A and B are shown apart, each in its own frame.
Chain A
Amino acid sequence: MANTQMSQTTTGKSAGGFTEAEAERRRVRVNWLLSLPALVWLAFAASGPLLIMVVYSFLTPGDYVGVVWDFSTDAWFQVLFTRDIFDETIVTMADAHLSIFWRSISLSLMTTATTLVFGFPTAYFIATRSPRSRPMWLFLVTIPFWTNLLIRTFAIMELIRNEGLINTVLLKAGLIDTPIQMLFTDGATLVGMTYVYLPLMVLPLYASMERLDFRLVEAGYDLYASRLQVLRRVILPLVKPGVIAGSILVFIPSLGAYVTPRLLGGGRNMMMGNFIEMQFGAGRNWPLGAALSITLLFIVMIALIFYVRNVGKEGSGHG
């Protein structure tokens, strides 16, 4: 409202002499002008630099740091392949890179699955509480969500380290003789990411379960459906948008996770995020890092398109 009025005062000189199409154009221009500062800032410090990464992925790494401005597709080649040190014509798959990709994708999928298995019943539990107590249960999920990710990862780290609480208790109880190595394994990363991202699964799931019409569930039982059938054929289809939204919200940060795999997985169990960071640090291969970043971005975009395709339709279908 304020916009339309502002645009009218700036153009008021023509004293109502402008056509409706003209007014419309001016209104749109004001809307763009108001959005522009945010867009410029984002272009400068978020979106724009991503384009620089595309350019950098086609350059040659510098001797010490940075890049040399020579066109090269080596970085993209190195993402998946490696040349023999002695004979450059021998090309093999880059096993080290593949194992990092595989770990990233499989751990992210497993994290998504685990958070879904635990998050679904939790969201259902909250949605079936009385309307008065629901905010309280929801609040209990939000506190960890807003607690610093580093602190939550650190808490898990302390729990599972060799001198940590779990090993200490097991040793004292005489169940084990030597501490179990839990820290710095893929399992530790999985547990950590599940713990850290669980609220991201519960919140969107709850949002769609809250609107669940339980008369439909009752109708299912009336028609002699078993509990499992009601869950599979009635509840799941109805909360599908929430399931997809939660899965995407967990999958994307898992794929790009940096802090959790670094602290819990250690240097040997790198994920893509750590591997990318390494190229800009000790690895000193900026073009490869840039190519890897764009690969990661590409996978994320595929996941997002999948989300828009599925939830976009569902959302409009149910109103």
Chain B
Amino acid sequence: MADTLSDDVLRRAAERAQSKRFDVRTMPGFTTIAVICFIALYAPLFPMAFYSFNAGDSIAVWQGFSWRWYVSAWSNDLVKDVTVRSLIVAACASGIATVLAVLAALGTTRTQPFRGQTLIYVLINQPLMVPEIVTGVALLVFFAMIKVATGYTGLIYLIAAHAAFCIPFAYLPIRARLEGMDKTLEAAASDLYATPIQAFRRITLPLMTPGIVAGAMLAFVISLDDVVITELVKAAGQDTLPTYMLGQLRRAITPEINAISTALLAITVVLLTTIFFLTSKKE
């Protein structure tokens, strides 16, 4: 009797000890690789940020702390010029893309499957599938034809191109939001004699606003970040901030580029952190 009892206790202790060591979820080495990955994702950004505060002209030899390059970038008229252009293009393109995406999302969600629905879906997501360089050169050729025919060489071409590749980025969150929405609220509105327009303005639109905001922000960031299509479509003197930076990187690099990059990085981090905390609070 005593023997079996102690056996039992021993066995259970062994099990417990083993369960401490043996977690079904652990895979040997995985945590190490994951930690290396997280470090590697951020490590290269630190030297870049660090040397943006260098007092000297070098991006490799530290000569003391200074805001010099931030001041220099801030007072550089060319940088101001390209930044303003980037913002104008991004604002117009994301605005257009969001409106078009809202309409398309209303047309393709919450209905019974209809003929051509998959086709619409594929066409809207097409910019996500075709490599940017291919779209870029195709637009270069196409816009060159229009430029010859009309003689117009304004910013509209850039805005049109940006709006197009922003559509899927605006569409996806709006569609996701619409699909999760309760249809009965709109049914209730029409039961209470709301006209379709009233029901849309007072019920549907407010409910889908978070999706619209997310889509618009996504489109804005995507437009602001674009290098390849802008580089190919832009006319002379239509540089945006990324294409300006790309041009600068081929010349002698001064810490001014570090300063611009670090400032952009900081804005991205602040924006994302804000969105992260805003969305996680709700849950």
User: Measuring CB to CB, which residues of chain A are less than 8 angstroms from any residue of chain B?
Assistant: 1-6, 8-9, 27-28, 30-35, 37-39, 41-50, 52-53, 56, 66, 117-119, 121-122, 124-126, 128, 135, 137, 139-144, 146-152, 154-159, 163-165, 168, 195, 198-199, 202, 214, 217-218, 221, 227, 231, 252-253, 255-256, 258-259, 263, 272-273, 276-277, 280, 286, 289-290, 293, 296-297, 300, 304
Contacts and interface: CB of A to CB of B under 8 A. Distances in A.
Contacts of B2: none
Interface of B: 22, 24-31, 33-34, 36-38, 40-42, 44-45, 47-48, 51, 58-60, 96, 99-101, 103-104, 106-108, 110-111, 114-117, 120, 123-124, 126-127, 129-142, 144-145, 160-161, 163-165, 167, 171, 183, 186-187, 190, 195-196, 199-200, 204, 221, 224-225, 227-228, 232, 242, 245-246, 249, 253, 257-258, 261, 264-265, 268-269, 272, 276, 280
Q: Which of A4, A66, A258, A272 has the most CB of B within 10 A?
A: A258
Given A144-B42, A149-B225, A151-B261, A31 B133 contact: no
A52 B257 contact: no
Q: Which of B141, B225, B276 has the most CB of A within 10 A?
A: B141
Nearest to A30: B107
A119 B142 CA distance: 39
Nearest to B23: A128
A231 B27 contact: yes
Nearest to B243: A150
Given A32-B120, A53-B134, A142-B272, 16 more contacts: A1-B186, A6-B196, A28-B114, A28-B116, A34-B107, A42-B127, A44-B160, A50-B135, A124-B27, A125-B30, A148-B265, A151-B261, A255-B131, A259-B246, A277-B136, A297-B130
A277 B137 contact: yes
A297 B131 contact: yes
Nearest to A31: B107
Given A28-B114, A38-B101, A259 B131 contact: no
B264 A42 contact: no
Nearest to A6: B196
Contacts of B224: 148
B107 A32 contact: yes
Contacts of B245: 150, 154
A135 B82 CA distance: 35
A45 B139 contact: yes
Nearest to B99: A37
Nearest to B199: A2
A3 B130 contact: no
B160 A125 contact: no
Contacts of B165: 46
A297 B129 CA distance: 9
Contacts of A218: 24
Contacts, number: 280
A38 B37 contact: no
A57 B93 CA distance: 30
Given A41-B164, A148-B242, A163-B60, A277 B104 contact: no
B249 A157 contact: yes
B261 A47 contact: no
A304 B126 CA distance: 12
Given A42-B164, A149-B227, A156 B44 contact: yes
A121 B34 contact: yes
A119 B140 CA distance: 36
B131 A52 contact: no
A197 B208 CA distance: 31
Contacts of B26: 128
Query: Which 4 residue pairs across A and B have the least CB separation, nearest first?
Result: A256-B131, A34-B107, A125-B34, A49-B138
A60 B104 CA distance: 40
Contact of A256 (B117, B132, B163, B196): B132
Nearest to B159: A45
A17 B227 CA distance: 56
A35 B108 contact: yes
Given A53-B141, A143-B272, A253-B131, A121 B29 contact: yes
A3 B38 contact: no
A209 B222 CA distance: 27
Contacts of B249: 150, 154, 157, 263
Given A122-B38, A154-B48, A157-B249, A147 B199 contact: no
Given A5-B196, A122-B37, A195-B44, A34 B106 contact: yes
Contacts of B130: 46, 50, 297, 300
Nearest to A147: B268
A148 B30 contact: no
Contacts of B40: 118, 195
B111 A31 contact: yes
Nearest to B269: A143
Contacts of B58: 163
B133 A277 contact: yes
A124 B30 contact: yes
Contact of B100 (A2, A41, A214, A286): A41
Contact of B126 (A47, A121, A128): A47
Q: Which of A28, A31, A124, A142 has the most CB of B within 10 A?
A: A31
Contact of B141 (A49, A118, A227): A49
B171 A38 contact: yes
A38 B100 contact: yes
B28 to A, nearest CB: 6
A39 B195 CA distance: 28
B144 A27 contact: no
